[in-house]
Structure 1
């Protein structure tokens, strides 16, 4: 017997309510009313066009990293390296962006996006090969590459890429033709948001409606059963890792081309790690990732609003996100445990489920 489909949104709502209950204590200690604080976190950012657009701006990079993480996790490949892959995509975008000044945007932008995707995929390649060839845990290797990517960024910004006319460690501004155009005049919302939505839609279709997506899901469900069903699990994991890295790299492109217009040391305040929260809260589905990213973008903008209006620390927004991640993971684990206990009495085997998943349908 399977858990009903409606249990997933109920679980997410429960995780949010439990998180709000847990974090009420720190808010009270900070001298504010939890109800007023949560209203500032969630409702206030939606009450004006400016703050609503800022919510979408904040959601853009974590929607991309959330999609990247979700794809890898669905395949059973635990990519914790989206942060480093984002930074490599940003490096590629900043480098290419300064070289395409003679090209029109219709050519410059696709070249830069492709370069960022390749940068992210290249950074994801080594851990993926270590996993499929030697069985080395990708959690460790992908995580260790994140600070290496940051060191590479800082090395470039304090060395050959430093803008000589700037007083800060940052690269020269990219060409105007390589900048993402604003979607709405006098706002920071840019083409990257549309790009993120397109990637979400394409990823959903590929995962749900194509044989490759079904093989990926089957490999994540049970690698041994997938092999028995004739699926090349190593190739599937490698492909998922590269696609995941490419999408994370595009998140770096989005920040360089849409917000910073150059490479900076503070380009990412941890978007890759927040992508893990987004993917988990979105229960590894593309529609869920999009909704979770917008919700966390709302919390990010709302935390700044609450800090100004109520005098509570803006870091409480990060605390809420962290507690939300732990709560969601805990509830998912409980649901999975109960589902397995329920399924243990069924006649169908895991191998049979995997074989069904692997069919094109």
Structure 2
């Protein structure tokens, strides 16, 4: 018995879904090993994670609240990766989007909420988009590596934000705590459920995923993005404006990450601080890969990742096992997805030895 690898022409939706689910299950099985070494029961730990993430209305709302920025940063990574534009800078784009929202919504403009909220969303989208357009233009003009540029810009933006909230944007009523002046009440996103933190940013994320799905599946731009991602030289030969398409993708990708920053600062905190994001930009890459770069799948992948993080905090308090278990689950999920990606590209064909010799 022998086998050979055969490239797939195209992977079905069912196979992609099976790979994503299989990656999550494989990660949970692998994480069971360190849980056992820590003296805990994997089944008990996972049960507590599920209970902590979905066991009550409060827990479920916190999971959805945590998933909201992950949906937007996941979409940012998904649309860029479809065009083979490697955006690793969603974290910085998130912060610059939040900064734009604070600059506009803390008193620069006086508007009713119906105008103020769309204005800060547009400001955050454009600021985040610009942070991705610049590396893309450098790539096109000088051949610069967008991975390096976007990654390093994360640290530049965060340090810039820290400088501002320690200086000209610092709230004089913050008792020395490094945070910006607060947003006006008109610039804050309304809550979806009274007395809970869940806000309209979730609706924005869901709407963005639907609009992105329509764009990818039903529009000329979606076709151009797919063509550029599959073969840039062939797309250029076919008359597709590759450079313009890449700039459009960069604007959309960075803008979605900027909206994640607007969502957090306007829906959750009400002001900008250096700890606004615990790594939503980087986790968005995991979300996009778990979803197979599907805009709709990104929503479910974001909820899974958010549930792991929220549930792990509850599990840690109950069992004493470190909540860093969540980081391990997410990291292993990504690794398993990458392995699963191999089976999306190739199928294994088994052959009998005599048939293989006959073929020779």
Instruction: Tell me, yes or no, whether TM beats 0.5.
Output: yes
For the residues of structure 1 that align with 2:10 and 2:298, how far apart are their CA atoms?
A: 23
Larger Rg: 2
Matched residue, 1:40 = 48
The answer for the alignment partner of 2:280 in structure 1 is 271
- Counterpart of 1:13 (choices 18, 21, 32) is 21
Q: Does 1:132 align with 2:140?
A: yes
| In structure 2, distance between residues paired with 1:222 and 1:244 | 20
Match of 1:235 among 226, 235, 244: 244
Distance 1:337 1:131 in 2: 31
What's the Cα RMSD here? 1.3
Corresponding residue number in structure 2 for 1:209: 218
Residues 15 and 344 in structure 2, CA contact (< 8 A), matched pair in contact too: no
Counterpart among 95, 104, 109 of residue 96 in structure 1: 104
Count residues in correspondence.
339
CA distance, structure 1, for counterparts of residue 203 and residue 80 of structure 2: 22
Match of 2:308 in 1: 299
Look up the match of 1:350.
none
Q: Which aligned pairs between 1:187-336 and structure 2 lie closer than 5 A?
A: 187-336=196-345
Equivalent residue for 2:87? Answer: 79
Contact 1:19–1:323 under 8 Å retained in 2: yes
The offset of 1:2, in angstroms, is: 3.2
Offset at residue 262 of structure 1 (A): 0.3
CA contact (8 A) 1:121 1:243 kept: yes
- CA contact under 8 A between 1:101 and 1:177: conserved in structure 2? no
Distance 2:266 2:21 in 1: 35
List runs of 5+ in structure 1 lacking aligned partners: 340-361
Mean Cα displacement is larger for which, 119-128 or 63-72? 119-128
The structural deviation recorded for 1:4 is 3.0
What is residue 158 of structure 1 aligned with on the other side? 166
Q: 1:3 to 1:304 in 2, by over 3 A?
A: same
1:100 Cα offset (Å): 5.4
Q: Return the alpha-carbon distance in structure 2 between the equivalents of residues 203 and 59 of structure 1.
A: 18
